């Protein structure tokens, strides 16, 4: 056996170890988007397993954002007073290699049974401070339109709810699921339904994905974008500009750019906060305000999301401010509201 064959066998063995720890699935739609001749293909990097996932660091966690500590009943995460996550399922059509819930999702992971779903909806109904329910998982749009319609109708019957939010990758990873039945299910109640689309690279917006997004927006469902800052995928001003321009051109407003969570085996994707802030500075002033998401850190341990973008204004002892413009020049500002 030659060195090349041994290396190949070692790589295959490593990938088998990755698959034994973390779920792997790539839809036929995504498989068709991968360029096998490009070793830096941004689609492949997001979805194909990598031996680097076997490397874990002391600071990485099995539950990096503290879901479990804020789960009063199965399927509910209640971290903020006015909103809850409702995790219908723990499976997805694809498994992102950087997923912060990678320890909890995958084949064999159980979704909510009938009694558990009843208990979860009852919890929401018994807490009038809850104004927003966020369907997540797993990916909630992997369920059938019939089941999704049932859940949305039951949530619509809770008077104090104002908004139902859906977090999904489906429109860009399995766009055929966004058919007339799915759209009808999303519109089956009177409460506002918003969809947060997870996409990380402009190449995800192929014609089939664009058509799925158009179907949602034309049906009156507002679509926001959320992305994860990923080394080797979108860690340059050009890549982020292309991504956010593509979103906005397809009527998707960039909402969040997430700093990478401390999930096990994901260090090869993670940038420093300083690198992320510098990238956000490069966007400000060079691209439309429509393209500016909030750069967000989900504080490890379940302490919530906070903006961590660069600061442009610093106070001075005399009550005035030093303000930086988008091109890095400093300016003096006398605050007229200060006596």
Contact (Cβ atoms closer than 8 angstroms) between residue 205 and residue 172: yes
Active-site annotation holder among 45, 50, 63, 83:
83
- 123 catalytically annotated: no
Question: Hey, how many other C-beta atoms are within 10 angstroms of the C-beta on 88?
Answer: 22
- 231 catalytically annotated: no
Active-site annotation holder among 174, 261, 264, 270:
261
The percent of the chain in helix, strand and coil, each rounded to the nearest 5, is 35, 20, 45
- 92 catalytically annotated: yes
- 329 catalytically annotated: no
Cα separation of 314 and 190, whole Å? 45
Active-site annotation holder among 41, 63, 99, 174:
99
136 DSSP β-pair partners: 87
- 261 catalytically annotated: yes
- 298 catalytically annotated: yes
Active-site annotation holder among 41, 50, 79, 87:
79
- 305 catalytically annotated: yes
Active-site annotation holder among 96, 123, 165, 264:
96
- 79 catalytically annotated: yes
Q: Go through 220-250 and write b for each residue having 16 or more CB atoms within 10 A of its CB, e for each that does not.
A: ebebbbbbbbbeebbeebebbbbbbbbbbeb
**Which residues of 49-119 form beta strands (DSSP E)?**
76-80, 83-87
Contact (Cβ atoms closer than 8 angstroms) between residue 90 and residue 74: no
Active-site annotation holder among 92, 97, 169, 264:
92
Active-site annotation holder among 17, 187, 245, 305:
305
Catalytic residue IDs: 79-80, 83, 92, 96, 99, 101, 261, 298, 305
């Amino acid at each position: 056996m030659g060195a090349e064959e041994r290396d190949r066998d070692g790589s295959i063995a490593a990938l088998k170890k990755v698959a034994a720890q973390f779920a792997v699935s790539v839809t036929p739609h995504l498989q068709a988007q991968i360029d096998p001749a490009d070793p830096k293909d941004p689609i492949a990097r997001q979805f194909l397993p990598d031996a680097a996932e076997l490397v874990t660091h002391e600071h990485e966690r099995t539950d990096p954002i503290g879901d479990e500590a804020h789960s009063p009943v199965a399927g509910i995460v209640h971290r903020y007073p006015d909103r809850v996550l409702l995790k219908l399922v723990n499976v997805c059509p694809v498994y992102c290699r950087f997923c912060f819930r990678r320890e909890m999702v995958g084949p064999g992971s159980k979704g909510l049974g009938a009694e558990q779903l009843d208990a979860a909806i009852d919890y929401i109904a018994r807490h009038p401070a809850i104004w927003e329910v966020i369907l997540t998982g797993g990916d909630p749009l992997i369920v059938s339109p019939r089941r999704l319609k049932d859940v949305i109708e039951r949530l619509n019957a809770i008077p104090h709810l104002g908004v139902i939010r859906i977090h999904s990758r489906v429109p860009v990873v399995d766009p055929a699921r966004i058919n007339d039945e799915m759209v009808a299910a999303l519109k089956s109640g009177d409460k506002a339904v918003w969809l947060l689309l997870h996409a990380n690279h402009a190449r995800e917006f192929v014609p089939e994905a664009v058509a799925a997004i158009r179907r949602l927006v034309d049906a009156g469902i507002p679509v926001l974008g959320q992305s994860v800052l990923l080394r080797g995928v979108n860690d340059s001003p050009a890549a982020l500009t292309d991504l956010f321009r593509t979103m906005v051109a397809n009527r998707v407003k960039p909402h969040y750019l997430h700093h990478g969570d401390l999930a096990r085996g994901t260090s090869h994707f993670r940038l420093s906060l300083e690198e992320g802030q510098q990238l956000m500075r490069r966007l400000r002033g060079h691209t439309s305000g429509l393209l500016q998401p909030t750069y967000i850190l989900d504080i490890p341990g379940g302490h919530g999301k906070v903006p961590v973008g660069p600061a442009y204004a610093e106070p001075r002892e005399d009550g005035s401010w030093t303000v930086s413009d988008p091109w890095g020049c400093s300016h003096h500002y006398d605050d007229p509201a200060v006596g």
